Structures are given as structure tokens and as C-alpha cells.
Amino acid sequence: MVSWILTRPLAACFAAEALRRAPGPRPIHAARAQAQHAAYVAALRAAAPSATHLEAPADDRLPDSVFVEDLAVALPGGVLLTWPGAPSRRPERAGVAQALAQAGMPLLGALGGEATLDGGDVLRLPDRVLCGLSARTSAAGLAALRAAAAPLPVLGVPVPGGELHLKSLLSWGGPGVGLLVAAPHERWAREVLLPAAGALAPLGGLTWAADPLAANVVRVGDTVLWQGEDEPALAALRARGGVRWVRVDLSELALADGALTCCSVLVA
């Protein structure tokens, strides 16, 4: 069950200044990004009507601040504040910490120094945590996460060069859905992810998504939020039933390398 949903409004400078791995096919449309984000937040709230919605304060000096996932990781017993790998994103932490503290959320610590960690690299599974080792998340960050999550095991997974985060490539749709993995990274998944991640069959197995955006879903209660290209493998997953699939569209935020999980932190 989700008790808290943390989000943060888009900064006014998001469209012009958010970090992008590559220039992208076109500029970001600011008004459309706002509307998409509002619909995303509404879908999260509808999926967990009894959850408390925490909003970190909008900060128009911080272009990437909508991507709250990177700043805070929910673990058993509380929330760990991260230390983002991109220095420009570190000032985002104060507003997130403020919102969590005001809600009385137990904090498990705050990373710093060499221990960089982006929440986009942290995939929480019921019995373990996978932590991507990426350009944003260091070995020291993994070690700090491991200490905070104990006794939950934390397994390190090298992220392919050029990819932002572990969860740019996969996510867990929860019971009845299992893992979704970006098919263009099938070789990495077979050679790196699967050997590192431990047995996945008990978690519902995995489905390949041709569109990497579609491999990043958010499970909230009995609802799965999804976006991206539809395809037979995903339609088959939806046809299994037992879960409500709600399609949302964060395509403007995807131009700044954000997917669905990036824009919220869900705390049990």
C-alpha cells in the first residue's frame, strides 16, 4: 500500500534548461509539459486515494527538480536522501528534505562526498534492491545504499554506457505484472542484469518492451501507469487482468530523459 506520494511542480526553466543527454529531436513544449505532469499527478492520486500527497516546493532555479525520484529513496523504515551524480541537481535536495520532514517522514540519512546516488538507479523489489552503477551512481553510493537498506540485500548492476539510469532500462510492475525490460538492451539484460539480479521468476518473470519508455511503469496499489508505444507483448500483459492499466503521457518530460518513475517517490 502507498501511504505517501511525493511530487514536485515543474520549474519555469524546465523546458529551456533541463539536462538532456543529447539535443533531442525538438525543443520541449513548456505548456504541454505542465499539462502532462498535472495529468500524471492526478493519475497517481486517483490510484491511491487514501495516500497523502506531499509536494516539494516549486523552485524555478532548479530546472530538473520535477524529477524527485533521484533525490529520495524509500526503504523499509524510512527515506534515504541521495546525493545526485550531476552537481547541478544537488541543490534540489533541500526542498525535498523539507517536504519529507514536514510530513514527519523518518529519514535514514543523507549521502554526500564520493557517494553519489540517483534514485533512478534504484529499483526496489519486494525481497531485494537493484542498484545501477552508472555515470550518476558511484560504487560508494551503492555501498551507502546497502548500509541504509540492510538487511534488505542490495545488488549492484552496471548500467550500459550512454544510458542514464538503471530504470531507464527496466522497472517492476508489481504482482501479476513482473519486470518490464527494454528490448533494445536485451544483450545487456541477459549478460549483465540477469546474472546480477538473482532469480526473477518468483517476481513474475519479465516482458520485453521494444520502446524503452514503455519499460518504465509505475505500480500504485492495483494500478499500473504506463506510456510509450503499444505492442503485442504489452497488450498480452494487460490482458492477464487483475491490474488496472492507466495510460499517461510524459513525452515532453521524456525529451529531458525523464520517464514515469522519475516524477514521484512512493512511500509505503
Residue 255 to residue 20: CA distance in whole angstroms = 7
Q: Which is nearer to ligand CIR, 59 or 176 (CB)?
A: 59
Q: Interaction with ligand CIR in 11-40: which residues (CB under 6 A)?
A: 18-19
Residue 259 CB, shortest distance to ligand CIR, in Å, is 6
Residue 1 to residue 213: CA distance in whole angstroms = 25
Contacts of 257 (CB under 8 A, 6+ apart): 19, 20, 21, 164, 168
Q: Which stretch binds ligand CIR (CB under 6 A): 93-101, 160-168, 175-183, 184-192?
A: 160-168
Contacts of 201 (CB under 8 A, 6+ apart): none
C-alpha distances in angstroms, 154 versus 118, 121, 130, 132, 258? 15, 12, 6, 10, 24
Residue 100 to residue 96: CA distance in whole angstroms = 6
Nearest-5° Cα angle at 86, 151 to 76: 20
Q: Which stretch binds ligand CIR (CB under 6 A): 54-62, 162-170, 171-179, 242-250?
A: 162-170
Q: Which is nearer to ligand CIR, 195 or 251 (CB)?
A: 251
Residue 6 CB, shortest distance to ligand CIR, in Å, is 13
Residue bearing cell 541537481: 89
Q: Which is nearer to ligand CIR, 119 or 173 (CB)?
A: 119
Q: Is 95 in the site for ligand CIR (CB under 6 A)?
A: no
Whether 165 is a known active-site residue: answer yes
Whether 13 is a known active-site residue: answer no
Q: Is 67 in the site for ligand CIR (CB under 6 A)?
A: yes
Element (H, E) at 81: strand 78-81
Q: Which is nearer to ligand CIR, 20 or 240 (CB)?
A: 20
Q: Is 163 in the site for ligand CIR (CB under 6 A)?
A: no
Residue 240 CB, shortest distance to ligand CIR, in Å, is 27
| Four-residue CA torsion sign, 22, 23, 25, 28 | positive
Q: Which is nearer to ligand CIR, 34 or 176 (CB)?
A: 34
Among residues 37, 131, 262, 263, the one annotated as catalytic is 262
Q: Give the residues lining the site for ligand CIR (CB under 6 A).
A: 18-19, 64, 67, 69-70, 86, 89, 119-120, 164-165, 167, 256-259, 262
